[in-house]
Amino acid sequence: MNSLAVAICGAILLSAAFGVYLRLRQIAYVGDHRGETPPDFRDKVTAQEHRRAADYTVENAKISIAETLYSALVSLAWLLFWLAPLYWAIAAVTAPGLWRSLAITLSFAAIASLLDLPFSLARTFWLDARFGLNKQRLGGFLLDWIKSSALEFALGAPLLLGMFALLAAFPHNWWLFAYAGFMLFALAMTMVYPNFIAPLFNTFTPMPQDALRERLEALLSRCGFSAQNLYVMDASTRSTRGNAYFAGFGKTRRIVLFDTLIAKHSPDEIESILAHELGHFKFGHIKQSMALMAAVAFAGFAILYWALGPTGLASAFGFPFEPAIGFAIMLLAREPVMHVLTPIFSWRSRRAEFEADNFAKEMVGEGPMISALTRLTRDNLATLTPDRLYAMFYYSHPPAPERIAHLRDAA
């Protein structure tokens, strides 16, 4: 193990330590402000509801601390202890080449997925169930996990095999071809997901022709959007949380409203939430996200070109040349890098949310949007008093008090 390997292990530990520090700040700040609802919310959020959201946030942060430490230890265990026996066990029964690389990568991914499962179970059946957010049973959860795993295998195995084949055939330029293939796959998935993958997990029914649909169709018409693909999703089978989203492009585009959103919100609020989502399209946020993803992926594949090479990450940890080992090590080493980039991505996302809020205000007025944000925050148990540094790193959406202040102050 050379100095690069030591640096990677150190970065994993430092990233975990900083993540724990940020979560401890969140716990302390939310706990200190648990007893008093912010003045702008006292007429809509009771003191009991504010305390309940604070308690949920604190418990969630505690689980996140345990998960952060656990993930760091698992990553170090892979790098220092587990990858070697996995490699030698598979190498003993497979010849060098594509199928050995595929077997190592899939085995690594399968074990890693199993190791992540306990925290998903804890969040769903301990935390969310304790606070009344979970509606899913264990059998349904496990069925979803099995379907997700099968889908990841069905899609991932051919992609990985193609990447390793390109590496063998074009040792100097393979990463450019792999990057192009990845981008084509990502674009195709934006059209395939709404119609073929999402229905494997939820039921989508066309929104009935009622007064609410007529109202939403009028909004879509004003904004220059087609109203042909308005759907309601059975989110209530899994959670009490409400939401809405757009998916796909062109003829495959769907506008999806959670049934929990329709059940809990007034028509004015639902219209404002849809207007907010339309704002993301009007300001080009979806295309901007795709462009950012393309840039990050390009840098990732450029690094992967070196990482999977004879003098790359496998060599740094004392392994013989095996692209799959380099790939696994890069997956483990990317976490501290992505942690450093997280506040940049979060800042960009929060900026987009402010712009979409402005568009909703322009379309339906500030009152419905403020009411919708307040209700979403209350029903989803989002704290009204997060720690600023924690929010700067991890909040993809601005805290509700900031969004509401912005709506009131924006010209």
Q: For the segment 31-50, what is each residue's pLDDT rounded down to a tens digit?
A: 999 999 998 899 999 999 99
Mean pLDDT of 249-274: 90
How confident is residue 73, by pLDDT bands cut at 50, 70 and 90?
A: very high
Mean pLDDT of 190-215: 93
116 tagged catalytic: no
Q: Where are the domains of the chain?
A: 3-131+283-409
277 tagged catalytic: yes
User: Which residues make up each annotated binding site for Zn(2+)?
Assistant: 276, 280, 353
From 170, 163, 233, select the one nearest 199 (Cα to Cα): 233
Determine the residue type at 18. F
The set of long-range contacts for 53-58, using a CB threshold of 8 Å and a minimum separation of 24, is 53/377, 53/378, 53/381, 53/382, 53/383, 53/384, 54/30, 54/383, 54/385, 55/131, 56/127, 56/131, 56/381, 56/383, 57/26, 57/30, 57/381, 57/382, 57/383, 57/386, 58/26, 58/27, 58/30, 58/31
From 403, 394, 398, select the one nearest 372 (Cα to Cα): 403
Q: What's the pLDDT at 110? A: 97
Please state, in angstroms and rounded to a whole number, the distance separating the CA atoms of residues 383 and 381.
Answer: 6
- Catalytic: which of 277, 322, 379, 387? 277
User: What SS3 class is residue 206?
Assistant: strand
User: Which residues make up each annotated binding site?
Assistant: 276, 280, 353
Token readout for 144 is 């979803």
Task: Tell me the β-bridge partners of 246.
Answer: 255
Task: Tell me the β-bridge partners of 233.
Answer: 204, 258
Quickly list H helices, 170-309.
174-192, 211-223, 259-264, 267-282, 285-307
- Catalytic: which of 271, 357, 366, 387? 357
pLDDT per residue as tens digits for the range 80-108: 999 999 999 999 999 999 999 999 999 99
- Residue 73's φ and ψ, nearest 5 degrees, are -65, -40
Q: What's the pLDDT at 139? A: 97
For every residue of 102-139, DSSP letters joined together read HHHHHHHHHHHHHHHHHHHHHIIIIIIHHTT-B---HH
Please state, in angstroms and rounded to a whole number, the distance separating the CA atoms of residues 201 and 216.
Answer: 26
Determine the residue type at 288. Q
Please state, as a whole number, how many other Cβ atoms lie within 10 Å of the Cβ of residue 179: 19
Structure-token match 């095996």, residue found? 322
pLDDT at position 403 over 60: yes
Strand order in the sheet with 204-206: 204-206, 230-233, 254-258, 244-247
pLDDT per residue as tens digits for the range 117-166: 999 999 999 999 999 999 999 999 999 999 999 999 999 999 999 999 99
Q: What's the pLDDT at 251? A: 66
Please state, in angstroms and rounded to a whole number, the distance separating the CA atoms of residues 275 and 269.
Answer: 10
